[in-house]
Structure 1
Amino acid sequence: MNDSLLFYNAIDTIASNTWPAETTAYIDNWQLRATRGITKRANSVLAIGEFPHSANWLPLIEQFYADKGLPAIFHISDASPSGLDGLLHAQGYAIDLPCLMMFASAQEAAAAAQQKLMSRDVAALSVEWVTEADEEWLDAFLMLEKYKENSKSDYKGICNRISETKGFVKIKKADRIIAVGTAVVQDEWAGFLNVVVSEEHRGQGVAYFLMHALTAWSIKHGAAQQYLQVVSTNTAAVSLYEKLGYQTKYGYHYRIKYDLRPLASS
């Protein structure tokens, strides 16, 4: 296995720990994740490493998701085995949500964010950290993302299951939360997720303030490197991260199939 593939495998494994599923099963090294349909990350097969030894792996996976009333979704990255993407395409799996894995040095990203903030008026902003996703953080997250209130318990469950060093940040202006984010530190790596800024406060430096807060907290908790996952079509976010020194190292996408009845019953 070459160094690049080892890196992809390691990061995909670390990243999976930042968003733990409610139910997890395994077929050899592949991780089958299910969380009542809340997010693709928590309801997909983390297909890293070689194909499973069982020739019946695809029907087994489809049965796992069919039993839960969920579509079968595969997380396909550069760590996935060669030929998997084409095989799933031939089986009727549609491609969905291409994403980028972006990386930066923590110290360099902190310095870049600080530099950006020098020309922004962020004096009215304050930072508040909590070690668990409390009611205030969850309510703000759902509101900022425009997610349904009935998904709150599922997101709370995911956040509670994160076992690594974690922090949930609230960026406030006049006691109102206008941005949130999550940082998870494992070894030297910090992963950032749930990064969202209120629409009415975008373009005002709040995103740089938020990223600086996430980075500073992560450095304090031992991270030297950081990464995040961003939808490739979100050009505003990609541009923001690039200005902070992030570089894309590799990408991933999903393959999804809703009608599982033919294979699931085989």
Structure 2
Amino acid sequence: MMNDSITFYNEIDTIASNTWPAEITAYIDHWQLRATQGVTKRANSVLAIGDYPKTADWLPLVEQFYADKGLPAIFHISDASPPGLDEMLDSQGYVHELPCLMMFANAHEAAALAQEKLLLKPPLSITTEWLGEVDEEWLDAFLELERYDKTLKDCYKGICDRISKTKGFVKIKKDHQIIAVATAIVEGEFAGFLNVVVSEKERGQGLSYYLLHALTSWSLEHGATQQYLQVVASNTTAVSLYEKLGYQTKYRYHYRMKYDLAPFASS
């Protein structure tokens, strides 16, 4: 896509961060510190991309920021992070967690491949509904399908409400019951798909292909010709599904976490 890989990684990490806006955001130079009541690592971590901060004591300041909120210090480490950061954090007691993949596909190719897969499956008796903002039904279904605690509802609603880019929330229904949901967010030529979840009882019928086709079609209508997904590397079932739709891993990221922050002299 671009000759300068580092520039590409920086661009995509920045775009991807806009899909999951934190409740509280602070900065140390150009590094973004995100906090959202500890819900999800993405919304509670340092987006460490580009060069190191010029501020000499940036690490104590990061740890102070999270300690003040009763949270562990977490760094989002990717191919866009500065050289040596991962090793330095490791030496400071930060644990390596949750390796993830950034997978990309051409939207037209992904739509065509999803359509081909659907033709091999029996027709689905389902309906599709798109929302510009989340509603109670979408949120309740998302939490139930993901088996998340219902007390997180307001937090997830806040994240979805804060998304400022072109966004769409889809419900797939069967017999008036939601059996799948997902979110698509378009920024420039890129569409990011997240919150993609299908009911376990309905799997194996081609519903995932239907859902990805719906997301891709909506994104094309809103001007996105490229699309990406952030996938936990150990989720081999999802990775295999996306590869069948033409997705390729362009780069990887993981988190560095430190739980036992040392006490500070002042708050």
Q: TM-score range by the shorter chain?
A: over 0.9
- Which residue of the partner structure matches residue 225 of structure 2? 224
How far did residue 219 of structure 1 move?
A: 0.3
On the 8 A contact 1:122/1:209 being kept in 2, the answer is no
How far did residue 167 of structure 1 move?
A: 0.2
- Which residue of the partner structure matches residue 166 of structure 2? 165
Deviations 1:156-208 (A, max 9, x none): 00000000000000011111101000000001100000000011111210100
How far did residue 122 of structure 1 move?
A: 3.5
Q: TM-score, normalised by structure 1?
A: 0.98
Task: Detail structure 1 runs of 4+ shifted over 4 Å in the superposition.
Answer: none
Which structure 2 residues correspond to residues 43-192 of structure 1 after superposition, within 5 A? 43-192=44-193
Alignment identity in percent? 72
5+ long unaligned stretches in structure 2: none
Q: TM-score, normalised by structure 2?
A: 0.97
Q: In structure 2, how many angstroms separate the alpha carbons of the residues matched to 1:55 and 1:82?
A: 17
Q: Which amino acid aligns with 2:233?
A: S
Q: In structure 2, how many angstroms separate the alpha carbons of the residues matched to 1:233 and 1:146?
A: 19
Q: Which amino acid aligns with 1:57?
A: W
The answer to whether the aligner puts 1:258 opposite 2:259 as a matched pair is yes
Q: Which amino acid aligns with 2:101?
A: L
What is the aligned residue count? 264
- Which residue of the partner structure matches residue 236 of structure 2? 235
Q: Which amino acid aligns with 1:73?
A: I
On the 8 A contact 1:122/1:205 being kept in 2, the answer is no
Q: Which amino acid aligns with 2:33?
A: L
- Which residue of the partner structure matches residue 31 of structure 2? 30
5+ long unaligned stretches in structure 1: none
Q: In structure 2, how many angstroms separate the alpha carbons of the residues matched to 1:205 and 1:246?
A: 17
Q: Which amino acid aligns with 2:223?
A: G
Q: Which amino acid aligns with 1:5?
A: I
Q: Which amino acid aligns with 2:120?
A: S
CA RMSD of aligned residues (A): 1.0
Q: In structure 2, how many angstroms separate the alpha carbons of the residues matched to 1:175 and 1:118?
A: 24
